[in-house]
Amino acid sequence: MFDQKLPRRALLKGALAGLAAIPVVAAVTRAEAAAPALDANDAQAKALGYVDDTSKVDAKANPTHKAEQKCANCVQFQGKATDAQAPCMIFAGKLVNGNGWCKVYAKKP
């Protein structure tokens, strides 16, 4: 059996590294929470047919759209299905509406 004691210096270095990481994690969380909502008039949003409300999708322009498709159940949505807004992998740095939709929609498995 392997019986080696952890040196005090290694323990202290690990503890200090862990404490140093706390402000970094907190800053990232605050930055994500401060992200602006995606504007449907944004160039990228327009190009991908993003709408804030899936019930307002133009059926003629998007014949593959189905009423149950919305950002909250898309694989790109980075929040919980119950979140009103969350980050999206397609629209980096912006929050999309959970009830929104775009042409990149792909159902979560």
Fold of 37-109: High-Potential Iron-Sulfur Protein; Chain A (4.10.490)
In sequence order, what are the beta bridge partners of 77? 88
Q: In whole angstroms, how far apart are CA 38 and each of 42, 55, 88, 96, 101?
A: 7, 18, 10, 6, 12
Task: Give per-residue pLDDT as tens, 45-94.
Answer: 999 999 999 999 999 999 999 999 999 999 999 999 999 999 999 999 99
The dihedral sign for the CA sequence 23, 29, 33, 34? positive
The model carries a pTM of: 0.68
Terminus-to-terminus CA distance in the chain, angstroms? 45
